[in-house]
A and B are shown apart, each in its own frame.
Chain A
Amino acid sequence: MSILLDQLAKQLGADMIEGGRAGQRRIDRAYAGDRVSDLLNHASDTTLIVTNLANQSVARLIELMEVPGVCLLDGAKPEPAVVETAREHGAALLVSRDGMFETCGKLYKILETACGS
């Protein structure tokens, strides 16, 4: 079971900064963290990455690991290069207005309902 990123963004109340076709990609899990090594290890093509890193590091993550979407936190404004990379690689860029704890709490519920675990 999985959920469309468009649908997830709506339920989460997050802004879809970069969407387009990426909104039609599906994820079945999320991984939250601020250490690049952790994110690299847990990235997959059905994993939403949740992170405070709104910089070059997350752009590389999108570029190298082909993650379907990244959710930034606390209404962060990503660097233009990050937006550009997301567009180029067809990845969704979401910005949650909440911090990591609240965002993850909401995500957990959404994914539990959508994916059944």
Chain B
Amino acid sequence: MARKTVKNTSGRKKPSPAGVAESRGAGVSPVSFQHAIQGGDYDSGGDGAKRIKDVLKKIGVDPQSVRRTMVAAYEAEMNVVIHAYKGLMKVAIDPAQVDIAVTDEGPGIEDIELAMKDGYSTAPAAARELGFGAGLGLPNIQKNTDRFSIQSTVGRGTQLRFTVLLQPQTGESPAVNSVRLDPARCRQCLMCVHACPTQAVRVRDGRPGVLDHLCIDCTSCMAACDSGAIGMPAAAELPAPSKKTVLVIPGSFLEQFGSDVGPGQVLGALRECGFEEIRLLDEWEAALRDAVVEYARDVALKPVISPSCPAVLNLIRMRFPSLLEHVAPFLTAVEAAREEITAPHAVWAAPCPAQCSALRAPSLLTKIELVDPPVLRKAAFEHIGVHARHDEASPRPAGPRQVLQVSGIRHVMNVLEAIENGRVSDYALIELFACDQGCFGSPVWVEDPFMAQPRFEWAKERHPILSPGGRASAVRRVEPLSPRAGMRLDSDMRAAMAKLAEIDRLTKTLPGRNCSVCGAPSCTALAEDVVLGRATPESCIYRSESPDN
């Protein structure tokens, strides 16, 4: 099977130029063009580089940057001439940078690691006579560019992508994060402040803020926020697609429509929204997994950490820098996709701030628009109604089909709610555990459940004695489970309803920030405590401060 590899060769020596996109001259649209390259045509090899040079000269780029761009562009072009059947060079230039992608149809590169080494070459004699094929091309491109990536599929072709910055970057690139806060919606509940794993969130003077240097772009604060004050820099309206637009979605998007709507239907709905070309991020995730598995086979330093989640990479870089050597040297899937996609317009439904940040890195060739995933979901949903009635090729098998294991109390509650609402038609049997990974997740243990549980599974394979061998038996319950009355406000329904009304009224007089200073988990809970005689309204410090209440 053809193997695809995406190599991150930018390394750690150069600071990533992320963030440049925002600092470059606003309002200047890039000059862009394409240049076709013919394999074996040694006479024309260099024409593309010449076209680039002409543009750079016209806009007055400094000679050193012109030289660096020329070395990279010419080497890349000659690579196609020497090794491939044909290729396409896409170029975009603005005052801050030159962005180039060279894609070829050719044999591909078997071992990118080797190809990147000085002196390794598979060039034919004709190329060597012309002074090529010294095996210095790829390293030369890397040396002369500020950002460089290479991906290759054996039997299909190779793509190089590189950027030369035309404006000097001073010092370390600024930390980029994509957590966006809306002070107007913030209720100052401070849940985000407590949820942040790196203590990067502050709420001061009634305004929430993120300390950029600490934020790792994970979703903890978003998940903790009930008021919708925390989001991402993504469009709240669906960008208009054209014929040349590529829509990129994570596979998880396709499973956001319940048990009765299959991925095929969702894809159909997205096409009806006007997106003709849709790419799943899973393509790159699978390629990354294959490549990392292969990489891990040969590397001595174990365990290898796969660069699967950009937020985790940020965490490692900040809190566990000694482990950076363990991280396999590949781009994350979203970065690899960003490198490969060179269509003029890409709409991207990134599900987390970390992916958004990766997509905000400069790309002149492609105009990347981030769309808020719920916005895309809503748009797709409007078309799914039609589909569901006509039922075009839903891939769901009829009837319940499998066992579902769910652990962690938050997820357990989600699942129970879904069952109660009749939204689970595809699982035949459900096992629910309050702790993560079942009893391995109890706080009394010292080992992380996600490590301990699989270890035990392996141990069971090796030691049959650990596997229960039919000595124990299940016991049939004699007394049926009965409901617990915990939630009921009063044994008399009429009284309960009166209390409910009183709780509602009282809740409205409370500030709604759920600060818990009163000792109750939320304002509603305090109102209930007051009505049931467990607390007094004065225990709310904000309420007693305000004379209106």
B67-81 interface code vs A (CB 8 A; 1 in, 0 out): 100110011001000
Q: Is the beta-carbon distance between A37 and B136 smaller than 8 angstroms? A: yes
Among A49-72, those with CB < 8 Å from B are 51, 53, 55-58, 60, 63-66
Of A9-17, A23-31, A38-46, A99-107, the stretch lying at the interface with chain B is A38-46
By beta carbon, the residue of chain A nearest B67 is A65
Of B63, B74, B129, B143, which is within 8 A of A60 by CB? B74
Given A41-B140, A43-B67, A65-B70: A53 and B131 interface contact (C-beta under 8 Å): yes
Q: Is the beta-carbon distance between A40 and B70 smaller than 8 angstroms? A: yes
Of A36, A44, A60, which is within 8 A of B134 by CB? A36
The answer to whether the Cβ of A35 comes within 8 Å of any Cβ in the partner chain is yes
Q: Is the beta-carbon distance between A56 and B43 smaller than 8 angstroms? A: yes
The answer to whether the Cβ of A112 comes within 8 Å of any Cβ in the partner chain is no
Q: Is the beta-carbon distance between B75 and A40 smaller than 8 angstroms? A: yes
Measured between beta carbons, the chain B residues less than 8 angstroms from A58 are 131
Q: Is the beta-carbon distance between A37 and B67 smaller than 8 angstroms? A: no
Of A36, A38, A44, which is within 8 A of B67 by CB? A44
Distance A63 CA – B46 CA, assembled complex (angstroms): 9
The answer to whether the Cβ of A84 comes within 8 Å of any Cβ in the partner chain is no
Q: Is the beta-carbon distance between A37 and B130 smaller than 8 angstroms? A: no
Q: Is the beta-carbon distance between A36 and B132 smaller than 8 angstroms? A: yes
The answer to whether the Cβ of B137 comes within 8 Å of any Cβ in the partner chain is yes
Q: Is the beta-carbon distance between B74 and A40 smaller than 8 angstroms? A: yes
Distance in angstroms from A77 CB to nearest chain B CB is: 16
The answer to whether the Cβ of A74 comes within 8 Å of any Cβ in the partner chain is no
Measured between beta carbons, the chain A residues less than 8 angstroms from B78 are 36
Among B130-167, those with CB < 8 Å from A are 130-132, 134, 136-137, 140, 143-144
Given A35-B136, A37-B137, A40-B74: A56 and B42 interface contact (C-beta under 8 Å): yes
Distance in angstroms from A25 CB to nearest chain B CB is: 14
Measured between beta carbons, the chain B residues less than 8 angstroms from A39 are 131
By beta carbon, the residue of chain A nearest B57 is A66
Report the interface size for chain A: residues with CB under 8 A from the other chain: 22
Distance A58 CA – B134 CA, assembled complex (angstroms): 16
Q: Is the beta-carbon distance between B63 and A64 smaller than 8 angstroms? A: no
Distance in angstroms from A74 CB to nearest chain B CB is: 16
The answer to whether the Cβ of B50 comes within 8 Å of any Cβ in the partner chain is yes
Q: Which of A35, A39, A64 has the most CB of B within 10 A?
A: A64
Measured between beta carbons, the chain B residues less than 8 angstroms from A40 are 70-71, 74-75, 140
Q: Is the beta-carbon distance between A45 and B134 smaller than 8 angstroms? A: no
- Contact size class for B? 20 to 34
The answer to whether the Cβ of B411 comes within 8 Å of any Cβ in the partner chain is no
Distance in angstroms from B191 CB to nearest chain A CB is: 56
By beta carbon, the residue of chain A nearest B137 is A37
Q: Is the beta-carbon distance between A55 and B137 smaller than 8 angstroms? A: no
Q: Is the beta-carbon distance between A55 and B134 smaller than 8 angstroms? A: no
Q: Is the beta-carbon distance between B130 and A57 smaller than 8 angstroms? A: yes
Distance in angstroms from A27 CB to nearest chain B CB is: 15
Q: Is the beta-carbon distance between B130 and A35 smaller than 8 angstroms? A: no
Q: Is the beta-carbon distance between A64 and B130 smaller than 8 angstroms? A: no
Distance A43 CA – B75 CA, assembled complex (angstroms): 14
Measured between beta carbons, the chain A residues less than 8 angstroms from B143 are 41
Among A70-88, those with CB < 8 Å from B are none
Q: Is the beta-carbon distance between B46 and A37 smaller than 8 angstroms? A: no
Q: Is the beta-carbon distance between A35 and B49 smaller than 8 angstroms? A: no
Measured between beta carbons, the chain A residues less than 8 angstroms from B43 are 56
Distance in angstroms from A6 CB to nearest chain B CB is: 23
Among B435-484, those with CB < 8 Å from A are none
The answer to whether the Cβ of B53 comes within 8 Å of any Cβ in the partner chain is yes
Q: Is the beta-carbon distance between A64 and B136 smaller than 8 angstroms? A: no
Distance A82 CA – B78 CA, assembled complex (angstroms): 18
Q: Is the beta-carbon distance between B131 and A34 smaller than 8 angstroms? A: yes
Q: Which of A35, A41, A43, A60 has the most CB of B within 10 A?
A: A60
Q: Is the beta-carbon distance between B70 and A56 smaller than 8 angstroms? A: no
Q: Is the beta-carbon distance between B134 and A63 smaller than 8 angstroms? A: no
Among B112-136, those with CB < 8 Å from A are 129-132, 134, 136
Q: Is the beta-carbon distance between A57 and B132 smaller than 8 angstroms? A: yes
Distance A115 CA – B378 CA, assembled complex (angstroms): 72
Measured between beta carbons, the chain B residues less than 8 angstroms from A45 are 63
Distance in angstroms from B525 CB to nearest chain A CB is: 70
Distance in angstroms from B123 CB to nearest chain A CB is: 11
Given A40-B70, A53-B131: A63 and B75 interface contact (C-beta under 8 Å): no
Measured between beta carbons, the chain B residues less than 8 angstroms from A37 are 75, 132, 134, 136-137, 140
Given A40-B74, A64-B46: A55 and B140 interface contact (C-beta under 8 Å): no
By beta carbon, the residue of chain A nearest B72 is A40
Given A35-B136, A64-B49, A64-B50: A41 and B131 interface contact (C-beta under 8 Å): no
By beta carbon, the residue of chain A nearest B47 is A60
Distance in angstroms from B468 CB to nearest chain A CB is: 66
Q: Is the beta-carbon distance between A56 and B134 smaller than 8 angstroms? A: no
Distance A41 CA – B67 CA, assembled complex (angstroms): 9
B45-63 interface code vs A (CB 8 A; 1 in, 0 out): 1100110010000000001
Q: Is the beta-carbon distance between A35 and B75 smaller than 8 angstroms? A: no
Q: Given contacts A55-B131, A57-B131, could you give 7 more A-B pairs where the C-beta distance is less than 8 Å? A: A34-B131, A36-B132, A44-B67, A55-B129, A60-B49, A64-B50, A65-B70
23 contacts between A and B (CB under 8 A): A34-B131, A35-B136, A36-B78, A36-B131, A38-B134, A38-B136, A39-B131, A40-B74, A41-B143, A41-B144, A43-B67, A45-B63, A51-B131, A53-B131, A55-B129, A55-B131, A56-B43, A57-B131, A60-B45, A63-B50, A63-B53, A64-B53, A64-B74
**Closest 7 interchain pairs by CB?**
A37-B136, A35-B134, A36-B131, A60-B46, A64-B70, A40-B71, A57-B131
